[in-house]
Amino acid sequence: MSEAPVTRKRGFPYRTVIVLVGGMAIFSFLSGGGPTAEPQGPAASAAPTARSSAEAAQVEGLLVSVVTAAGLGPILNSADVRPPLPPEMNSLPRTVVRAASTRDPNGIPLIAISFVDAAAARAAATQLAAYLVAPVNLVLVPPGAQFSLFQSGNLLVILQRTPSADLDSEAANTLLLTLQGMLEEVPLPR
């Protein structure tokens, strides 16, 4: 006769649970801890912020006045626009206001870069103008993009447009003419 297999009573697998919990604790510790207790809120813009709320309001006011003078609707608090800038200018505060029309509800972005004073903006204007036309710097810019650069006090204002892709070329031309009439244009080398 053969012997019956010995069956042992299986209890709760403590060892397996301890290994799993310990593994999760080690993984959690090594990966920076568990989830945060409170939600972090919306993601912040990548753009550096203005030095003060008064400065931000002044810059925004200038851009809004240009957009409304062109007969277009200003869009505030839009997504950040990252124009091609020399590396040393990436940390400067910038403000974006879009000029919307009925044919282009997303709007054409106007980007104002704030400098400490007008002399610093004037000194940076020639460097930025040369940077905006150098092909090696325009890797992430659509083909055929055109830039216009303007100065107003301590601000440099960039208008970037692609005429072949403009949803409302008439509005873009009107905005350009308004900028030329209200701000000092910085010539771009050709």
Give the integer Cα–Cα distance in Å for 56 and 76. Answer: 12
Q: Is 82 contained in some domain?
A: yes
Burial 152-171 (b: 16+ CB within 10 A, else e): bbbbbbbbbbeeeeeebeeb
Q: Is 12 contained in some domain?
A: no
Q: Is 181 contained in some domain?
A: yes
Q: Is 15 contained in some domain?
A: no
- Domain count for the chain, please give it: 1
pLDDT averaged per 10 residues in sequence order, the chain, 190 residues: 65 76 80 56 49 80 92 82 84 89 89 92 92 77 85 92 84 92 89
Q: What is the pLDDT of residue 114?
A: 92
Q: Is 32 contained in some domain?
A: no
Length of the chain: 190
Contact 129, 162 (CB under 8 A): no
Q: Is 106 contained in some domain?
A: yes
Q: What is the pLDDT of residue 134?
A: 82
Contacts of residue 153, defined as CB under 8 A and 6 or more positions apart, other chains included, come to 118, 121
Give the integer Cα–Cα distance in Å for 175 and 185. Answer: 13
Structural domain range at position 69:
53-186
Q: Is 14 contained in some domain?
A: no
Q: Are strands 108-114 and 94-100 parallel, antiparallel or unpaired?
A: antiparallel
Q: Is 97 contained in some domain?
A: yes
- SS3 state of residue 28: helix
